[in-house]
Amino acid sequence: MKRLFTLLQRELSVFYYSTIAYIVLFLFLILNGLSFWFAIALLNRAPSENTVVQVFFNSAFFWIAYLLVFSVITMRSFAEEFKLGTIETLMTAPVHDWEVVASKFLAALLFYLSLWLPSLLYFLIFGWLGNRSAIGSTAQVWAPYLLLLVMGMFNVALGCLASAMTSDQIVAAMISLMLTIGFFFVTLINYVVNSSSPLLREITAYVAQLDHMDSFSRGVVDSRVFVFYPSMTFLLLFITYQVFQYRRWKV
């Protein structure tokens, strides 16, 4: 456990030592701010049934930031170790392979979560300033963040897998962007195939992130996502672990 903590500390420090982390933090702050500002502006223009939270989490700004961020966060995690050769010193220290995979995943997830903190503050401050009704109930504020956590786990694990497959950060970023966007648009199959097959709808509903967010931001919490995303995350991390070991032994 102490080893895992040491590794995690190192992985987290990687983010805060690198310029890219601050660029991401800065862009995220701007996109979140814009998104929030547009939500307020929209609600100021005309009476609406939607809360600020709902408008915020269903805006294009939000989704663009969400989809782009994973590849940037995870691209260097394994790729950089392979490229610098530090994988050799890392894996000859007395640590288990799974500890390395877990620490890299957890660090990326924690960084991702920290990106959403400013937006949570907006809502809390906005509500505290007296616009309780425009925010909605406590559950309506927190539910989207729960969803961001589980969907984030899944996408961060995808990014880790992409990074473990290559020694080039850029290639890792491309692969992970492709995977993230690919899963995001899986529901489009329904429109392309144009079949009303209920089975297909049932399956794609599991990864319909837009739909999840729509219901969660209304405060409707669907328990299926808490089973699906964490179990997919475990599966992806297991594959990452295998790929990682395979590449290390192949050097």
Partner 1 sequence: MIKVEQLTKKYPGVVAIHDLSFEVEKGEIVGFLGPNGAGKSTTMRILSSFMPPTFGRAYIAGHDVFRDSLKARRHLGYLPESVPLYRDMRVNEYLRYRGSLKGLSGRKLRSRAEAVKELCSLREVENKLIAGLSKGYRQRVGLAEALIHEPDLLILDEPTLGLDPNQIRHARELIKSLGKRHTILLSTHILSEVEVTCSRVIIIHRGKIEASDTPENLVGRIRTSGTVRLEARTGSDDPVERLERIAGVKNVAANQEDGWHRCSIRVEANSDLREDIFRLAVERCWTIRELTQERATLEDVFVELTHTDN
3-class DSSP state of 54: helix
Identify which of 66, 73, 64, 231 has the alpha carbon closest to the alpha carbon of residue 160: 73
Q: Which of 20, 64, 93, 170 binds partner 1 (CB under 8 A)?
A: 93
Q: In angstroms, rounded to a whole number, what is the distance separating the alpha carbons of residues 142 and 148? A: 10
Evaluate the CA torsion angle 22, 24, 26, 32 in order and state its sign.
negative
- Closest contact distance (angstroms) between CB of 13 and partner 1 is 8
Q: Using the rule CB under 8 A, is 45 a contact of partner 1?
A: no
Give whichever of 40 and 91 is closer to partner 1, judged by the CB atom: 91
Q: Which of 1, 2, 46, 198 binds partner 1 (CB under 8 A)?
A: 2
Identify which of 149, 243, 151, 250 has the alpha carbon closest to the alpha carbon of residue 206: 151
Query: Which of 10-18, 107-115, 123-131, 192-200 is the region at the interface with partner 1 (rule: CB under 8 A)?
Result: 10-18
Q: Using the rule CB under 8 A, is 60 a contact of partner 1?
A: no
Give whichever of 93 and 227 is closer to partner 1, judged by the CB atom: 93
- Closest contact distance (angstroms) between CB of 106 and partner 1 is 16
Q: Using the rule CB under 8 A, is 91 a contact of partner 1?
A: yes
- Closest contact distance (angstroms) between CB of 8 and partner 1 is 11
The neighbour count for residue 179, using CB atoms within 10 Å, is 18
Q: Which of 30, 37, 48, 96 binds partner 1 (CB under 8 A)?
A: 96
Kindly state the DSSP code that residue 141 receives in the 8-state scheme: H
Using alpha carbons only, give the angle 125, 128, 129 rounded to the nearest 5 degrees: 90
Q: Which of 1, 46, 47, 94 binds partner 1 (CB under 8 A)?
A: 94
- Closest contact distance (angstroms) between CB of 86 and partner 1 is 4
Binding track over 162-201 against partner 1, x by CB under 8 A: ----------------------------------------
Instruction: Please list the alpha-helical segments (H only) found in 131-197.
Output: 132-135, 138-164, 169-184, 189-193
- Closest contact distance (angstroms) between CB of 23 and partner 1 is 16
Q: Using the rule CB under 8 A, is 20 a contact of partner 1?
A: no
3 state SS for 179-247: HHHHHHCHHHHHHHHCCCCHHHHHHHHCCCHHHHHHHHHCCCCCCHHHHHHHHHHHHHHHHHHHHHHHH
Q: Using the rule CB under 8 A, is 17 a contact of partner 1?
A: yes
- Contact footprint for partner 1 (CB under 8 A): 2-3, 6-7, 9-10, 13-14, 17-18, 84-89, 91-96, 248-249, 251
